[in-house]
Structure 1
Amino acid sequence: MNIPQALSILLVDDDSQFTAVMSRAFQRRGYDVSIANNSAEALAAIAQQHFQRAIVDLKIAKESGLQLIPQLIAAQADIAIVMLTGYSSIVTAVEAVKLGALNYLCKPANLEDILKAFGDSEDPADIPEQPHSIDRLEWEHIQKVLHENNNNVSATARALNMHRRTLQRKLQKKPVKR
């Protein structure tokens, strides 16, 4: 794979182990990598250096990566952003793309998946399609209806024709894997 010489990439994630692994992988591919552990560090880095790419986590400690996307684009209009998350839902994917993200990937995503999401691989259409499980589809539907009801659990339970306590138990669980 031939990439333009020394593309700069900004990794924005509070998981130091993830950023260390991704940083090494991108550096082996010839990328110049900078790491930010929160929004303030990301904005400081983008003020100091021009980046062609950014990988932004949806949840950065107590911050939302969604709020960072427009700030990064405002600082550098030509930056390509891929959002990564371990808590994916259709609602957040649509929101990320509306805010300017190029793509949205679920963790664990490997280097090849990320390169394909940026279009830096030889076959960008080859992003693996992994069907969601029924449990995962239920969780995403609940998140969508909850978002439509402004996070009102009682209204969401009524809309889903579900007992409120049952809905609360489902919401307390982490999202199910694909």
Structure 2
Amino acid sequence: MAKSFTGETLLIVENDDVFREQLTKVMRNRGFDTVAASGLEEAKAAIMTRAPAFAVIDLHLDDGSGLEVIEELKMYSAEARAVILTGYGNTPTAVAAVKLGAVDYLAKPADADEIIDALLAADGVMPPAPENPISPEEAKRVHIERFLERTDGNITKTARLLKMHRRTLQRILKRTPDIGQDSG
């Protein structure tokens, strides 16, 4: 039986509009009282208005870092449980997130069950490893596809959003010809 989170506020900070809306809807259906923010400044305002019990925070925001959101969250609610989501994980950033108070650091795409498991894991208990983990290359491919969809396939805009040079993105796309292709 699923646990009820009625009254538990969950802040979702994600700059990908589609992913944010989907995750907000799913978590609301799971019983969370969700508040969504698209970036650092919106997240800070939401935290000051009503400090959440839980937070799911994208590491790379258009106007800052998800790490800054964790710092702000912990100032207003030291007991809040936060999970960082990222398309590009690296060890130093994961360590920094945990030091700031995140309970876990999940690679995108993470589903609602993985996120809830991480948010509710007892302190010091690590959630189980994913059954079918994706490779770093697959995570990178999915991340780039999301940005290509957001820009309707515009390479220049996608490269700008990913904070990389257009030619670098073009080289990646040449090496991975299935990006942007319908796999179903």
TM-score after normalising by structure 2: 0.66
2-structure distance, mates of 1:78, 1:39: 20
* 1:89-128 to 2 correspondences below 5 Å: 89-119=90-120, 125-128=127-130
Structure 1 residue 134, shift from structure 2 partner: 8.9
Determine which structure has more spread, i.e. the larger CA radius of gyration.
Answer: 1
Matched, 1:77 2:52: no
Contact 1:52 1:78 in 2 (8 A): yes
1:5 is aligned to 2:6 = yes
Write the distance in 2 (CA, Å) between the matches of 1:135 and 1:83: 20
Normalising by structure 1, we get a TM-score of 0.68
| Separation of aligned partners in 1, 2:14 and 2:135 | 27
Quote how far apart the aligned CAs of 1:50 are.
Answer: 2.9
CA distance in 2, matches of 1:105, 1:67: 17
The number of residues matched between the two structures is: 140
RMSD (Å), alpha carbons: 2.9
The secondary structure found in structure 2 opposite 1:104 is strand
Shift of the alpha carbon at 1:95? Answer: 1.1
C-alpha offsets along residues 30-84 of structure 1, whole Å, 9 cap, x if unaligned?
1111111111111111111131101110100141112221111112212111000
Structure 1: runs of 5+ lacking an equivalent: 137-168
1:109/1:134 Cα in 2 relative to 1: closer, same or farther (>3 Å)? closer
Shift of 1:130: 5.5
The offset of 1:96, in angstroms, is 0.6
| Structure 2 partner of 1:48 | 49
Instruction: Map Cα deviations across residues 70-124 of structure 1 (whole Å, 9 max, x no partner).
Output: 1111122121110000011112111110111111000000001101111279x97
Give the aligned residue type for 2:75.
Answer: A
Where does structure 2 lack aligned partners over 5 or more consecutive residues? 139-167, 177-184
Q: What is the identity, as a one-letter code, of the residue corresponding to 1:7?
A: E
Partner of residue 29, structure 1: 30
- SS of equivalent residue, structure 1 residue 102: strand
Alpha-carbon distance change, 35 to 115 in structure 1, aligned in 2, over 3 angstroms: same
